[in-house]
Structure 1
Amino acid sequence: MIRQLTFDLPARTAWRREDFFVSPANAAALAALDDWRNWPGGKMVLTGPKGSGKTHLARLWAAETGAAVLPARGLAEADLPALAAQGAVAVEDADEAAGQGDCEAALFHLHNLVTQAGHLLVTAATPPRDWQLKLPDLASRLQAASLSRIEAPDDALLSAVLIKLFADRQLAVPPALIPYLVQRMERSIDAARDLVARLDARSLAEGRPITRAMAAEELGD
Protein backbone atom coordinates (compact mmCIF):
# COMPACT_ATOMS: atom_id res chain seq x y z
CA MET A 1 0.00 0.00 0.00
CA ILE A 2 1.27 3.46 -0.90
CA ARG A 3 1.13 5.68 2.17
CA GLN A 4 0.86 9.43 1.88
CA LEU A 5 3.06 11.77 3.83
CA THR A 6 1.16 13.49 6.64
CA PHE A 7 1.94 16.72 8.39
CA ASP A 8 0.74 17.56 11.89
CA LEU A 9 -0.10 21.19 11.21
CA PRO A 10 -0.89 23.38 14.21
CA ALA A 11 -4.59 23.94 14.60
CA ARG A 12 -5.95 27.37 15.41
CA THR A 13 -7.46 27.39 18.87
CA ALA A 14 -10.70 29.34 19.05
CA TRP A 15 -11.58 30.92 22.37
CA ARG A 16 -14.94 32.33 21.28
CA ARG A 17 -18.08 32.05 23.38
CA GLU A 18 -19.82 30.07 20.65
CA ASP A 19 -17.00 27.51 20.74
CA PHE A 20 -17.59 26.77 24.43
CA PHE A 21 -20.10 23.94 24.82
CA VAL A 22 -22.20 24.30 27.95
CA SER A 23 -23.20 21.11 29.77
CA PRO A 24 -23.94 20.08 33.36
CA ALA A 25 -20.18 19.53 33.75
CA ASN A 26 -19.32 23.21 33.31
CA ALA A 27 -22.52 25.26 33.54
CA ALA A 28 -22.00 26.26 37.18
CA ALA A 29 -18.40 27.35 36.51
CA LEU A 30 -19.49 29.43 33.53
CA ALA A 31 -22.19 31.11 35.60
CA ALA A 32 -19.69 31.88 38.35
CA LEU A 33 -17.31 33.57 35.92
CA ASP A 34 -20.14 35.50 34.28
CA ASP A 35 -20.92 36.88 37.76
CA TRP A 36 -17.36 38.20 38.23
CA ARG A 37 -18.50 41.65 39.35
CA ASN A 38 -19.91 40.05 42.49
CA TRP A 39 -16.96 37.84 43.48
CA PRO A 40 -16.29 38.20 47.22
CA GLY A 41 -12.94 39.91 47.63
CA GLY A 42 -12.65 40.23 43.87
CA LYS A 43 -11.19 36.75 43.40
CA MET A 44 -12.13 33.29 42.18
CA VAL A 45 -10.33 29.95 41.99
CA LEU A 46 -11.42 27.76 39.07
CA THR A 47 -10.50 24.08 39.31
CA GLY A 48 -10.94 21.07 37.07
CA PRO A 49 -9.07 18.12 35.57
CA LYS A 50 -6.64 18.61 32.70
CA GLY A 51 -8.43 19.24 29.44
CA SER A 52 -11.75 20.10 31.08
CA GLY A 53 -11.95 23.62 29.63
CA LYS A 54 -10.35 25.84 32.29
CA THR A 55 -8.23 27.69 29.76
CA HIS A 56 -11.20 28.30 27.48
CA LEU A 57 -13.23 29.74 30.37
CA ALA A 58 -10.31 31.88 31.49
CA ARG A 59 -9.94 33.28 27.98
CA LEU A 60 -13.65 34.04 27.77
CA TRP A 61 -13.43 35.86 31.09
CA ALA A 62 -10.36 37.75 29.93
CA ALA A 63 -12.11 38.82 26.73
CA GLU A 64 -15.00 40.24 28.75
CA THR A 65 -12.92 41.93 31.44
CA GLY A 66 -9.84 42.93 29.47
CA ALA A 67 -7.74 40.78 31.79
CA ALA A 68 -4.14 39.79 31.25
CA VAL A 69 -3.60 36.02 31.12
CA LEU A 70 -0.34 34.34 32.08
CA PRO A 71 0.92 31.04 33.50
CA ALA A 72 1.86 30.90 37.17
CA ARG A 73 5.39 29.83 36.31
CA GLY A 74 5.89 33.11 34.47
CA LEU A 75 5.01 35.29 37.43
CA ALA A 76 8.54 35.61 38.79
CA GLU A 77 9.63 37.51 35.66
CA ALA A 78 6.39 39.47 35.20
CA ASP A 79 5.85 43.18 35.74
CA LEU A 80 3.35 42.83 38.56
CA PRO A 81 2.35 46.52 38.87
CA ALA A 82 1.72 46.67 35.11
CA LEU A 83 -0.44 43.55 35.29
CA ALA A 84 -2.41 44.86 38.24
CA ALA A 85 -2.95 48.17 36.42
CA GLN A 86 -5.11 46.33 33.89
CA GLY A 87 -7.67 45.81 36.63
CA ALA A 88 -8.12 42.08 35.98
CA VAL A 89 -5.65 39.21 35.77
CA ALA A 90 -6.03 35.48 35.13
CA VAL A 91 -3.26 33.21 36.41
CA GLU A 92 -3.33 29.73 34.89
CA ASP A 93 -2.06 26.52 36.52
CA ALA A 94 -1.46 28.33 39.80
CA ASP A 95 -0.90 25.02 41.58
CA GLU A 96 2.39 24.75 39.65
CA ALA A 97 3.70 27.71 41.66
CA ALA A 98 3.62 25.65 44.86
CA GLY A 99 7.10 25.09 46.23
CA GLN A 100 8.61 27.63 43.82
CA GLY A 101 9.64 30.44 46.15
CA ASP A 102 9.84 33.21 43.54
CA CYS A 103 6.55 32.21 41.96
CA GLU A 104 4.73 31.96 45.28
CA ALA A 105 6.01 35.38 46.34
CA ALA A 106 5.03 36.91 43.02
CA LEU A 107 1.53 35.40 43.19
CA PHE A 108 1.15 36.74 46.72
CA HIS A 109 2.10 40.27 45.68
CA LEU A 110 -0.02 40.11 42.54
CA HIS A 111 -2.99 38.96 44.60
CA ASN A 112 -2.62 41.92 46.94
CA LEU A 113 -2.19 44.43 44.12
CA VAL A 114 -5.08 43.18 41.98
CA THR A 115 -7.68 42.59 44.67
CA GLN A 116 -7.34 46.12 46.06
CA ALA A 117 -9.66 47.35 43.31
CA GLY A 118 -9.70 44.71 40.56
CA HIS A 119 -10.41 41.03 39.96
CA LEU A 120 -8.19 37.96 40.05
CA LEU A 121 -8.99 34.60 38.45
CA VAL A 122 -6.78 31.64 39.33
CA THR A 123 -7.02 28.24 37.63
CA ALA A 124 -5.67 24.94 38.92
CA ALA A 125 -6.32 21.22 38.90
CA THR A 126 -7.25 21.15 42.60
CA PRO A 127 -8.30 23.58 45.36
CA PRO A 128 -5.56 25.70 47.05
CA ARG A 129 -5.67 23.61 50.23
CA ASP A 130 -4.14 20.74 48.25
CA TRP A 131 -1.25 22.67 46.68
CA GLN A 132 1.18 22.45 49.60
CA LEU A 133 2.05 26.13 49.39
CA LYS A 134 5.07 27.16 51.43
CA LEU A 135 3.95 30.76 51.94
CA PRO A 136 1.26 30.76 54.67
CA ASP A 137 -0.09 34.21 53.77
CA LEU A 138 -0.59 33.16 50.16
CA ALA A 139 -2.30 29.93 51.22
CA SER A 140 -4.72 31.74 53.51
CA ARG A 141 -5.64 34.33 50.89
CA LEU A 142 -6.28 31.80 48.14
CA GLN A 143 -8.19 29.48 50.44
CA ALA A 144 -10.45 32.42 51.24
CA ALA A 145 -11.35 32.85 47.56
CA SER A 146 -14.62 31.58 46.10
CA LEU A 147 -14.18 28.20 44.46
CA SER A 148 -15.80 26.93 41.27
CA ARG A 149 -15.13 23.56 39.64
CA ILE A 150 -15.43 22.14 36.15
CA GLU A 151 -16.24 18.46 36.33
CA ALA A 152 -14.89 15.85 33.93
CA PRO A 153 -16.68 16.13 30.57
CA ASP A 154 -19.99 14.30 30.41
CA ASP A 155 -21.30 12.43 27.38
CA ALA A 156 -23.11 15.44 25.94
CA LEU A 157 -20.04 17.65 26.15
CA LEU A 158 -17.65 15.06 24.71
CA SER A 159 -20.08 14.37 21.86
CA ALA A 160 -20.35 18.05 20.98
CA VAL A 161 -16.59 18.50 21.12
CA LEU A 162 -15.93 15.48 18.89
CA ILE A 163 -18.49 16.63 16.34
CA LYS A 164 -16.89 20.07 16.17
CA LEU A 165 -13.35 18.70 15.99
CA PHE A 166 -14.24 16.48 13.05
CA ALA A 167 -16.12 19.34 11.38
CA ASP A 168 -13.16 21.70 11.85
CA ARG A 169 -11.03 19.25 9.89
CA GLN A 170 -13.78 18.80 7.28
CA LEU A 171 -14.03 15.12 8.12
CA ALA A 172 -17.27 13.25 7.49
CA VAL A 173 -17.73 10.38 9.94
CA PRO A 174 -20.63 7.97 10.52
CA PRO A 175 -23.03 9.41 13.14
CA ALA A 176 -22.80 6.18 15.16
CA LEU A 177 -19.06 6.73 15.55
CA ILE A 178 -19.51 9.58 18.03
CA PRO A 179 -21.27 7.60 20.81
CA TYR A 180 -18.87 4.72 20.16
CA LEU A 181 -15.88 7.01 20.80
CA VAL A 182 -17.48 8.70 23.81
CA GLN A 183 -17.99 5.39 25.60
CA ARG A 184 -14.41 4.22 25.07
CA MET A 185 -12.07 7.21 25.03
CA GLU A 186 -10.34 8.96 27.90
CA ARG A 187 -12.79 11.52 29.25
CA SER A 188 -11.05 14.82 28.55
CA ILE A 189 -11.10 17.53 25.89
CA ASP A 190 -7.39 17.05 25.30
CA ALA A 191 -7.95 13.34 24.66
CA ALA A 192 -10.69 14.18 22.16
CA ARG A 193 -8.35 16.52 20.26
CA ASP A 194 -5.61 13.91 20.22
CA LEU A 195 -7.92 11.13 19.07
CA VAL A 196 -9.41 13.17 16.23
CA ALA A 197 -5.94 14.25 15.12
CA ARG A 198 -4.73 10.63 15.07
CA LEU A 199 -7.76 9.44 13.12
CA ASP A 200 -7.35 12.28 10.64
CA ALA A 201 -3.66 11.48 10.11
CA ARG A 202 -4.35 7.78 9.70
CA SER A 203 -7.20 8.38 7.26
CA LEU A 204 -4.99 10.60 5.14
CA ALA A 205 -2.01 8.24 5.27
CA GLU A 206 -4.06 5.18 4.33
CA GLY A 207 -6.29 6.94 1.83
CA ARG A 208 -9.51 5.65 3.37
CA PRO A 209 -12.37 7.17 5.37
CA ILE A 210 -12.59 7.06 9.14
CA THR A 211 -14.62 4.06 10.25
CA ARG A 212 -15.54 2.35 13.49
CA ALA A 213 -12.97 -0.35 12.72
CA MET A 214 -10.23 2.26 12.34
CA ALA A 215 -11.30 3.94 15.57
CA ALA A 216 -11.29 0.59 17.37
CA GLU A 217 -7.70 0.01 16.30
CA GLU A 218 -6.66 3.46 17.51
CA LEU A 219 -8.37 2.86 20.85
CA GLY A 220 -6.98 -0.66 21.19
CA ASP A 221 -10.54 -1.94 21.40
Structure 2
Amino acid sequence: MAGRVQPRQLAFALPHAESFTRDDFLEGPANAAGLALIDSWPDWPNRIMLLVGPEGSGKSHLAAIWAEQSGARGISAHALTATAVPGALATGALVLEDLKSSDVDERALFHLLNLAREDGAFVLITARTPPTAFQIELRDLRSRLRALPTVSLLPPDDHLFRALIVKFCADRQLAIDETVVAYLTNRIERSYAAVRRVVELLDAEALRLGRPVTRALAAEVLRASGLTDPSPAP
Protein backbone atom coordinates (compact mmCIF):
# COMPACT_ATOMS: atom_id res chain seq x y z
CA MET A 1 0.00 0.00 0.00
CA ALA A 2 1.50 3.32 -1.01
CA GLY A 3 2.50 5.68 1.80
CA ARG A 4 0.39 8.67 2.43
CA VAL A 5 1.81 11.99 1.23
CA GLN A 6 2.09 14.48 4.04
CA PRO A 7 0.43 17.76 3.12
CA ARG A 8 2.63 20.85 3.06
CA GLN A 9 1.63 23.25 5.80
CA LEU A 10 0.66 26.65 4.49
CA ALA A 11 1.59 29.94 6.15
CA PHE A 12 -1.09 32.60 6.13
CA ALA A 13 -0.25 36.31 6.20
CA LEU A 14 -2.09 37.22 9.38
CA PRO A 15 -2.30 40.85 10.47
CA HIS A 16 0.08 41.92 13.21
CA ALA A 17 0.09 44.94 15.47
CA GLU A 18 2.70 47.62 14.87
CA SER A 19 2.54 50.58 17.20
CA PHE A 20 3.40 54.09 16.00
CA THR A 21 3.30 55.83 19.38
CA ARG A 22 6.11 57.99 20.78
CA ASP A 23 6.88 55.39 23.44
CA ASP A 24 7.44 52.69 20.81
CA PHE A 25 9.87 54.70 18.70
CA LEU A 26 13.39 53.26 18.86
CA GLU A 27 15.83 56.10 19.40
CA GLY A 28 19.44 56.16 18.25
CA PRO A 29 22.07 58.39 16.67
CA ALA A 30 20.76 57.45 13.21
CA ASN A 31 17.35 59.04 13.81
CA ALA A 32 18.20 61.63 16.47
CA ALA A 33 17.82 64.56 14.08
CA GLY A 34 14.40 63.35 12.93
CA LEU A 35 13.15 62.89 16.46
CA ALA A 36 14.50 66.31 17.44
CA LEU A 37 12.52 67.84 14.58
CA ILE A 38 9.28 66.26 15.78
CA ASP A 39 9.91 67.17 19.41
CA SER A 40 10.75 70.78 18.52
CA TRP A 41 7.44 71.48 16.79
CA PRO A 42 6.03 74.13 16.44
CA ASP A 43 9.43 75.84 16.67
CA TRP A 44 10.56 74.63 13.25
CA PRO A 45 13.01 76.62 11.12
CA ASN A 46 10.38 76.51 8.37
CA ARG A 47 6.70 75.60 8.42
CA ILE A 48 7.34 73.14 5.58
CA MET A 49 9.96 70.50 6.39
CA LEU A 50 11.30 67.53 4.49
CA LEU A 51 12.16 64.29 6.30
CA VAL A 52 14.39 62.04 4.20
CA GLY A 53 15.51 58.49 4.86
CA PRO A 54 15.72 55.00 3.38
CA GLU A 55 12.81 52.59 3.33
CA GLY A 56 11.85 51.45 6.82
CA SER A 57 13.95 54.08 8.60
CA GLY A 58 11.06 55.39 10.69
CA LYS A 59 9.73 58.27 8.58
CA SER A 60 6.12 57.10 8.87
CA HIS A 61 6.52 56.47 12.59
CA LEU A 62 7.87 59.97 13.17
CA ALA A 63 5.14 61.43 10.95
CA ALA A 64 2.50 59.58 12.98
CA ILE A 65 3.93 60.97 16.22
CA TRP A 66 3.85 64.49 14.79
CA ALA A 67 0.32 64.03 13.41
CA GLU A 68 -0.85 63.04 16.88
CA GLN A 69 0.72 66.18 18.35
CA SER A 70 -0.36 68.61 15.65
CA GLY A 71 -3.69 67.23 14.48
CA ALA A 72 -2.25 66.85 11.01
CA ARG A 73 -4.08 65.08 8.26
CA GLY A 74 -2.18 62.64 6.08
CA ILE A 75 -2.11 61.95 2.36
CA SER A 76 0.13 59.92 0.10
CA ALA A 77 2.03 62.09 -2.36
CA HIS A 78 0.96 59.98 -5.32
CA ALA A 79 -2.71 60.58 -4.41
CA LEU A 80 -2.38 64.37 -4.23
CA THR A 81 -4.56 66.33 -6.65
CA ALA A 82 -5.12 70.05 -7.03
CA THR A 83 -8.74 69.75 -5.90
CA ALA A 84 -7.66 67.85 -2.77
CA VAL A 85 -5.20 70.51 -1.61
CA PRO A 86 -7.55 72.85 0.34
CA GLY A 87 -9.11 69.95 2.24
CA ALA A 88 -5.71 68.43 2.97
CA LEU A 89 -4.64 71.67 4.66
CA ALA A 90 -7.93 72.19 6.51
CA THR A 91 -6.50 71.52 9.98
CA GLY A 92 -3.45 73.71 9.41
CA ALA A 93 -1.09 70.72 9.44
CA LEU A 94 -0.43 67.98 6.90
CA VAL A 95 1.77 64.93 6.44
CA LEU A 96 2.61 64.34 2.78
CA GLU A 97 3.95 60.79 2.64
CA ASP A 98 6.50 59.18 0.35
CA LEU A 99 7.20 61.92 -2.16
CA LYS A 100 8.68 60.60 -5.42
CA SER A 101 9.27 62.82 -8.43
CA SER A 102 8.19 60.01 -10.75
CA ASP A 103 4.81 59.62 -9.07
CA VAL A 104 3.46 63.05 -8.19
CA ASP A 105 1.23 65.65 -9.81
CA GLU A 106 3.72 68.53 -9.98
CA ARG A 107 1.09 71.25 -10.34
CA ALA A 108 -0.85 69.90 -7.36
CA LEU A 109 2.32 69.82 -5.26
CA PHE A 110 3.22 73.37 -6.28
CA HIS A 111 -0.31 74.48 -5.37
CA LEU A 112 0.05 72.75 -2.00
CA LEU A 113 3.33 74.49 -1.18
CA ASN A 114 1.93 77.88 -2.20
CA LEU A 115 -1.32 77.51 -0.26
CA ALA A 116 0.48 76.20 2.82
CA ARG A 117 2.72 79.25 2.79
CA GLU A 118 -0.22 81.61 2.30
CA ASP A 119 -2.23 79.98 5.11
CA GLY A 120 0.71 79.53 7.49
CA ALA A 121 0.10 75.78 7.59
CA PHE A 122 2.65 73.23 8.74
CA VAL A 123 3.59 70.49 6.29
CA LEU A 124 5.86 67.51 6.92
CA ILE A 125 6.96 65.81 3.69
CA THR A 126 8.59 62.39 3.79
CA ALA A 127 10.76 61.02 1.00
CA ARG A 128 13.42 58.38 0.42
CA THR A 129 15.72 60.68 -1.53
CA PRO A 130 16.64 64.37 -1.14
CA PRO A 131 15.14 66.99 -3.47
CA THR A 132 18.41 67.32 -5.37
CA ALA A 133 17.77 63.81 -6.73
CA PHE A 134 14.24 64.60 -7.91
CA GLN A 135 13.52 64.91 -11.62
CA ILE A 136 11.06 67.81 -11.58
CA GLU A 137 9.84 69.45 -14.77
CA LEU A 138 8.36 72.61 -13.23
CA ARG A 139 11.29 74.93 -12.62
CA ASP A 140 9.60 76.89 -9.82
CA LEU A 141 8.62 73.70 -8.03
CA ARG A 142 12.14 72.31 -8.39
CA SER A 143 13.56 75.47 -6.88
CA ARG A 144 10.99 75.49 -4.06
CA LEU A 145 11.69 71.86 -3.09
CA ARG A 146 15.44 72.31 -3.08
CA ALA A 147 15.08 75.32 -0.78
CA LEU A 148 13.17 73.34 1.87
CA PRO A 149 15.06 72.51 5.08
CA THR A 150 15.81 68.79 5.05
CA VAL A 151 16.35 66.44 7.99
CA SER A 152 17.94 63.10 7.18
CA LEU A 153 17.62 59.70 8.83
CA LEU A 154 20.82 57.66 8.62
CA PRO A 155 21.53 53.90 8.37
CA PRO A 156 21.20 52.16 11.76
CA ASP A 157 24.17 51.60 14.05
CA ASP A 158 24.69 48.22 15.77
CA HIS A 159 22.61 49.07 18.82
CA LEU A 160 19.64 50.32 16.83
CA PHE A 161 19.93 47.44 14.38
CA ARG A 162 19.67 44.88 17.19
CA ALA A 163 16.76 46.78 18.71
CA LEU A 164 14.95 46.75 15.35
CA ILE A 165 15.27 42.97 15.11
CA VAL A 166 13.80 42.56 18.59
CA LYS A 167 10.99 45.08 17.95
CA PHE A 168 9.92 43.63 14.60
CA CYS A 169 9.86 40.16 16.13
CA ALA A 170 7.87 41.42 19.12
CA ASP A 171 5.38 43.10 16.77
CA ARG A 172 4.73 39.64 15.31
CA GLN A 173 4.79 37.92 18.71
CA LEU A 174 7.79 35.98 17.47
CA ALA A 175 10.02 34.62 20.23
CA ILE A 176 13.78 34.75 19.58
CA ASP A 177 16.77 34.48 21.89
CA GLU A 178 20.03 36.40 22.02
CA THR A 179 21.90 33.89 19.85
CA VAL A 180 19.47 34.50 16.99
CA VAL A 181 19.64 38.28 17.44
CA ALA A 182 23.45 38.19 17.39
CA TYR A 183 23.50 35.91 14.35
CA LEU A 184 21.14 38.13 12.37
CA THR A 185 22.91 41.33 13.44
CA ASN A 186 26.20 40.07 12.03
CA ARG A 187 24.78 38.78 8.77
CA ILE A 188 21.81 40.81 7.56
CA GLU A 189 22.40 43.48 4.96
CA ARG A 190 22.66 46.68 7.01
CA SER A 191 19.39 48.31 6.03
CA TYR A 192 16.01 48.89 7.66
CA ALA A 193 14.21 47.23 4.77
CA ALA A 194 16.36 44.10 4.97
CA VAL A 195 15.79 43.49 8.68
CA ARG A 196 12.04 43.95 8.28
CA ARG A 197 11.97 41.55 5.34
CA VAL A 198 14.04 38.91 7.15
CA VAL A 199 11.74 39.01 10.18
CA GLU A 200 8.72 38.60 7.87
CA LEU A 201 10.37 35.57 6.25
CA LEU A 202 11.34 34.07 9.62
CA ASP A 203 7.78 34.43 10.85
CA ALA A 204 6.32 32.83 7.72
CA GLU A 205 8.81 29.96 7.69
CA ALA A 206 8.45 29.22 11.41
CA LEU A 207 4.68 29.09 10.95
CA ARG A 208 4.89 26.92 7.85
CA LEU A 209 7.24 24.40 9.45
CA GLY A 210 5.76 24.57 12.93
CA ARG A 211 9.22 25.25 14.30
CA PRO A 212 10.56 27.83 16.74
CA VAL A 213 12.92 30.47 15.42
CA THR A 214 16.41 29.11 16.00
CA ARG A 215 19.84 30.01 14.67
CA ALA A 216 19.55 27.09 12.23
CA LEU A 217 16.22 28.34 10.89
CA ALA A 218 17.62 31.86 10.60
CA ALA A 219 20.54 30.50 8.58
CA GLU A 220 18.15 28.70 6.22
CA VAL A 221 16.08 31.86 5.70
CA LEU A 222 19.13 34.03 5.04
CA ARG A 223 20.54 31.58 2.50
CA ALA A 224 17.25 31.61 0.64
CA SER A 225 16.57 35.35 0.89
CA GLY A 226 19.80 36.81 -0.44
CA LEU A 227 19.59 39.58 2.20
CA THR A 228 22.91 38.78 3.83
CA ASP A 229 25.64 41.36 4.21
CA PRO A 230 28.35 40.71 1.62
CA SER A 231 30.99 41.31 4.33
CA PRO A 232 29.48 39.81 7.51
CA ALA A 233 31.16 40.07 10.86
CA PRO A 234 32.64 36.80 12.15
Same fold (TM over 0.5): yes
Structure 1 residue 193 displacement after superposition? 2.5
- 1:18 lines up with 2:35 in the alignment: no
Q: Is the 8 A contact 1:39 1:146 kept in 2?
A: no
Question: What is aligned with 2:108?
Answer: 106
Q: Is the 8 A contact 1:41 1:115 kept in 2?
A: no
Say which is worse superposed, 200-209 or 84-93, in terms of deviation: 200-209
Say which is worse superposed, 73-82 or 126-135, in terms of deviation: 73-82
Q: Is the 8 A contact 2:155 2:192 kept in 1?
A: no
Q: Distance in 2 between matches of 1:2 and 1:26?
A: 46
Question: What is aligned with 1:50?
Answer: 55
Q: Distance in 1 between matches of 2:174 and 2:97?
A: 32
Question: What is aligned with 1:159?
Answer: 162
Equivalent positions of 1:163-178 (< 5 A) are 163-178=166-181
Q: 1:199 to 1:12 in 2, by over 3 A?
A: same
Question: What is aligned with 1:59?
Answer: 64
Q: Distance in 1 between matches of 2:157 and 2:145?
A: 28
Q: Distance in 2 between matches of 1:13 and 1:206?
A: 24
Structure 1 residue 170 displacement after superposition? 2.9
Instruction: Flag the structure with larger Rg.
Output: 2
Q: Is the 8 A contact 1:75 1:106 kept in 2?
A: yes
CA deviations on 1:121-166 (whole Å, 9 max, x unpaired) are: 1111121121021111112222221110000122211211211222
Please point out which of 143, 146, 149 is paired with 1:143.
Answer: 146
Equivalent positions of 1:1-221 (< 5 A) are 3-76=8-81, 79-94=84-99, 96=100, 98=101, 103-116=105-118, 117-220=120-223
Structure 1 residue 208 displacement after superposition? 2.1
The one-letter code matched in structure 1 to 2:48 is: K
Name structure 2 gaps, 5 residues minimum. Answer: 1-5, 229-234
How many residues are treated as equivalent by the alignment?
218
Identity of aligned residues (%): 46
Q: Is the 8 A contact 2:16 2:171 kept in 1?
A: no
Q: Which runs of 4+ in 1 moved over 6 A?
A: none
Name structure 1 gaps, 5 residues minimum. Answer: none
RMSD: 1.9
Q: Is the 8 A contact 2:74 2:88 kept in 1?
A: no
